[in-house]
């Protein structure tokens, strides 16, 4: 099969026909303006903010003795994130993508502080306050980082950019697991982790907004293909116009079809974090946090290489990734349903020295939340038709994720749902999502996407005419 030639949509302001010409010539860039520099900066922000948040939650129930309070707090966080994601485009319009990222990153530290206060002083209200402040900031951060991840990199580097960025995120989980494992390696019983762990987490999350200051503003980013990065909302539009444009995108056919795909992917986070907190000892939870991050790093970067592969056509990359990820996910859900049905009956508490530990522990490692997460960016990024839509799509993606996770954490705070119900429900969401998502995925590289497969592209003209879109070339 011959390599397909890239076709770039005329509707994309920063990906016109000139990119076809420029992509064949590597333009010199300053390292501190490059897309890879910004991938690292974005990764550091991700490491310190949501990465450490994930580290705390990957301990099972935020590291607390019981997961129910933290599941309730997380539901509050994601409810507020829906609100801030919905209005995130307005923030970008007035303060820009960089300062929106910095402002959002500042909201994470109170979350760790709340868990610390409850762990040491038993002040449950601090957990809820920290969760609320986190929700107000995290919605802005999530939208901003998603917009940067989808708009900054060159098309042929987007998968690797996403892989590097998300590697930093799970790096926070790996570090958190390592610290917690070192402090709690002798605790082969249920209970809360040491409050000293939270002191490390607070310090790291406090660094996140300062790391965000290192991000290059879009107009100064230098890409190797010579294309200017545009990541913002026109200031001459009113707030009402911006919100109306976002609402139209939300009800567009392409986005509506992938809502179940988004929901099933992110719903699972609360499911397996609660699973871990219920059935495993402190040190086993710490080991799971550490190892699952390493597995996610490897899997995420392999997916990035597949999405960027120039040996496969764009549509083949999107379709094969979809089949692999969703196929494996279905197998894991069957496995998970069998395990939790047994656990609810026997009520075990597993340590790594116990017989039967490996079955449930391996399921937690194999769930691969990050692969689902990374693939969502690839799909949603393919739906955007211009620069402003990238920002709006990022907000819609993160808002939809937040709504699904708010429901998930809320349900997991109910004992029977946390033990078995949410896993059954997530399996159902997976099944419902496949057919609608396929209608979108099969068009990536054909009628949608930054890069498309065509037989002939006339690069001598300054305008992109009508291009005949071919199928897979033999």
> What confidence tens digit (pLDDT) does each residue in 416-462 have?
998 999 999 999 999 999 999 999 999 988 887 665 555 434 444 33
Count of C-beta atoms within a 10 Å radius of residue 443? 18
**Cα–Cα distance measured from residue 33 to residue 211, given in angstroms and rounded to the nearest whole number:** 15
On the question of pLDDT at 246 being above 80, the answer is yes
pLDDT tens column, 52-74 = 888 787 665 554 545 678 888 88
Report, as an integer, the average pLDDT of 346-352: 92
Burial of 1 (0-12, 13-18, 19+ CB in 10 A): exposed
Place of tokens 């990119």: 19
Of 69, 424, 70, nearest to 268 (Cα)?
Answer: 424
Best CA proximity match to 158, nearest among 31, 15, 333: 15
Question: What does the pLDDT average to over 85-101?
Answer: 90
Q: What is the pLDDT of residue 440?
A: 94
Cα-based distances in Å from 76 to 143, 287, 337 = 18, 28, 27
Query: Tens of pLDDT along 374-395?
Result: 888 888 888 888 777 888 888 8
Q: Which two tokens stand for residue 416?
A: 């029977």
To the nearest whole percent, how much of the chain has pLDDT over 70?
A: 84
Question: Which region among 94-103, 315-324, 379-388 has the lowest average model confidence (pLDDT)?
Answer: 379-388
Place of tokens 């692999």: 324
Give φ, ψ of 448 to 5 degrees: -135, 165
Q: In sequence order, what are the beta bridge partners of 350? A: 280
Q: Indicate if the alpha-carbon torsion angle 33, 39, 44, 49 is positive or negative.
A: positive
What's the pTM value of the predicted model, to 2 decimals? 0.76
In the predicted structure, residue 357 carries a pLDDT above the cut 50? yes
Place 106 in a pLDDT band, splitting at 50, 70 and 90: very high
Phi, psi dihedral angles at 6 (to 5 degrees): -80, 140
Q: How confident is the model at residue 252 (pLDDT cuts 50, 70, 90)?
A: very high
Q: What is the DSSP letter of 227?
A: P
3-state helix/strand/coil string of 409-447? HHHHCCHHHHHHHHHHHHHHHHHHHHHHHHHHHCCECCC
C-alpha–C-alpha distance, residues 384 and 375, integer Å? 15
Is residue 276 within 8 Å of residue 60, measured between CB atoms? Answer: yes
CB-CB neighbours of 49 under 10 Å: 33
Residue 198's Cβ-side half-sphere holds a number of Cα atoms within 13 Å equal to 23
Top-level CATH class of 5-22+43-215+239-454? mainly alpha
> Which residues have CB under 8 Å from 466's CB, separation 6+?
none
Task: Inform me whether the pLDDT recorded for 186 exceeds 80.
Answer: no
Apex 98 CA angle, 92 and 100, nearest 5: 45
Please tell me the predicted confidence (pLDDT) of residue 12.
40
Rounded mean pLDDT, 356-365: 90
195/112: higher pLDDT: 112
Residue matched to tokens 């294309």: 227
Q: Which residue has the higher pLDDT, 226 or 465?
A: 226
SS3 of residue 186 by DSSP: coil
The predicted pLDDT at position 468 comes to: 35
- Across the chain, mean pLDDT equals 82
User: Higher model confidence: residue 465 or residue 72?
Assistant: 72
Q: Which residue has the higher pLDDT, 356 or 460?
A: 356
Name the phi and psi angles at 5, rounded to 5.
-80, 150
Estimate the crossing angle of helix 109-121 against helix 195-206, to 10 degrees.
Answer: 160
Angle at 146 between CA 143 and CA 148, to 5 degrees: 110
Instruction: Report pLDDT digits (tens) over 287-313.
Output: 887 888 888 888 888 888 888 787 888
Task: List pLDDT tens digits, range 160-182.
Answer: 887 887 788 888 778 877 877 77
Q: Where are the domains of the chain?
A: 5-22+43-215+239-454
Say whether pLDDT at 105 is over 90.
Answer: yes
């Amino acid at each position: 099969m011959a390599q397909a030639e890239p076709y770039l949509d005329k509707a994309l302001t920063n990906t016109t026909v000139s990119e076809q010409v420029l992509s064949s010539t590597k333009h010199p860039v300053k390292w501190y303006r490059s897309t890879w520099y910004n991938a690292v900066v974005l990764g550091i922000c991700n490491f310190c903010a949501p990465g450490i948040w994930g580290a705390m939650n990957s301990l099972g129930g935020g590291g607390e003795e019981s997961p129910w309070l933290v599941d309730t707090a997380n539901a509050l966080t994601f409810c507020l994130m829906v609100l801030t994601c919905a209005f995130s485009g307005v923030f970008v319009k007035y303060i820009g993508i960089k300062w929106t990222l910095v402002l959002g990153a500042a909201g994470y530290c109170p979350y760790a502080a709340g868990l610390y206060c409850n762990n040491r002083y038993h002040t449950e209200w601090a957990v809820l306050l920290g969760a609320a402040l986190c929700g107000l900031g995290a919605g802005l951060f999530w939208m901003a980082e998603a917009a940067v991840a989808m708009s900054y990199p060159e098309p042929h580097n987007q998968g690797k950019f996403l892989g590097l960025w998300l590697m930093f995120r799970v790096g926070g989980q790996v570090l958190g697991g390592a610290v917690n494992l070192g402090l709690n390696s002798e605790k082969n019983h249920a209970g809360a982790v040491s409050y000293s762990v939270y002191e490390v987490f607070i310090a790291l999350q406090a660094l996140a907004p300062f790391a965000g200051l290192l991000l290059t503003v879009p107009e100064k980013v230098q890409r190797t293909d010579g294309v200017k990065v545009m990541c913002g909302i026109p200031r001459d539009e009113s707030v009402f116009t911006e919100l109306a444009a976002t609402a139209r995108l939300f009800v567009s056919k392409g986005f509506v079809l992938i809502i179940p795909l988004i929901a099933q992917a992110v719903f699972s986070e609360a499911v397996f974090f609660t699973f871990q907190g219920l059935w495993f000892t402190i040190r086993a939870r710490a080991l799971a946090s550490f190892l699952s991050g390493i597995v996610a790093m490897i899997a995420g970067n392999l997916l990035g290489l597949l999405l960027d592969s120039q040996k496969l056509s764009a549509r083949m990359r999107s379709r094969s990734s979809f089949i692999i990820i969703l196929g494996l996910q279905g197998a894991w859900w069957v496995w998970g349903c069998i395990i939790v049905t047994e656990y609810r009956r026997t009520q075990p508490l597993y340590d790594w020295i116990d017989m039967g530990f490996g079955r449930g522990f391996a399921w937690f490692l194999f769930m691969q939340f990050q692969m689902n997460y990374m693939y969502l960016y690839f799909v949603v990024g393919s739906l955007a038709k211009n620069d402003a839509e990238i920002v709006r799509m990022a907000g819609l993606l993160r808002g939809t994720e937040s709504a699904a996770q708010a429901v998930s954490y809320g349900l997991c705070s109910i004992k029977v749902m946390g033990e078995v119900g949410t896993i059954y429900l997530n399996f159902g969401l997976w099944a419902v999502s496949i057919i609608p998502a396929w209608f979108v995925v099969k068009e990536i590289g054909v009628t949608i996407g930054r890069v498309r497969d065509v037989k002939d592209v006339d690069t001598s003209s300054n305008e992109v005419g009508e291009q005949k879109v071919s199928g897979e070339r033999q």
